Structure 1
Amino acid sequence: MSEIIDFLRTRRSVKPREMSQPAPSPEEIETILTIGARVPDHGKIAPWRFIVFEGDGRVRAGDVIASVYARKNPSAPQEEIEIEKRQLMEAPLVIGVVSCIKPHPKVPSWEQVLSAGASAMNIVTAVTALGYGANWLTGWFAYDRDILDGLGLKPDERFAGFIHIGTPTKPSKDRPRPNLSDIVSRF
Structure 2
Amino acid sequence: MSSVTDFLLNRASEPRLEAPAPSISALDRAFACAARAPDHALLRPWRYLVIAGDDLKALGDLFAAAYSDNIDDAKREKMHKKAMRAPMVIVGIASPKKHPKVPEVEQVLSAGASLSFLALALQDAGYGVMWRTGGMAYNPVVLQGFGLEKGESIIGFLYTGTVSSAKPAVPRPELSEFVAHWPIK
Q: TM-score, normalised by structure 1?
A: 0.93
The correspondence for 1:182, drawn from 174, 177, 182, is 177
Q: TM-score, normalised by structure 2?
A: 0.94
Secondary structure at the residue paired with 2:51? strand
Asked if 1:127 corresponds to 2:122, the answer is yes
For these two proteins, the number of residue pairs brought into alignment is 182
Partner of 1:154: 149
CA deviation digits over 1:113-169, x for unaligned, max 9?
A: 100110111011001101110111112010011210012211221101011101111
Asked if 1:9 corresponds to 2:4, the answer is no
C-alpha deviation, 1:86, in angstroms? 2.4
Structure 1 ranges of 4+ moved more than 4 A: none
C-alpha contact 1:49 1:97 (8 A) present in aligned 2: yes
Secondary structure at the residue paired with 1:87? helix
C-alpha contact 2:65 2:141 (8 A) present in aligned 1: no
Alignment gaps of 5+ in structure 1 = none
Identity %: 40
Q: Structure 1 counterpart of 2:118, which letter?
A: I
**Segment drifting more, 167-176 vs 96-105:** 167-176
Partner of 1:39: 37
Alignment gaps of 5+ in structure 2 = none
> 1-side partners of 2:34 and 2:5: how far apart?
19
Partner of 1:79: 74
**Segment drifting more, 43-52 vs 152-161:** 152-161
In the TM superposition, 1:2-151 aligns within 5 A as 2-15=2-15, 18-71=16-69, 73=70, 76-151=71-146
> 2-side partners of 1:77 and 1:57: how far apart?
23
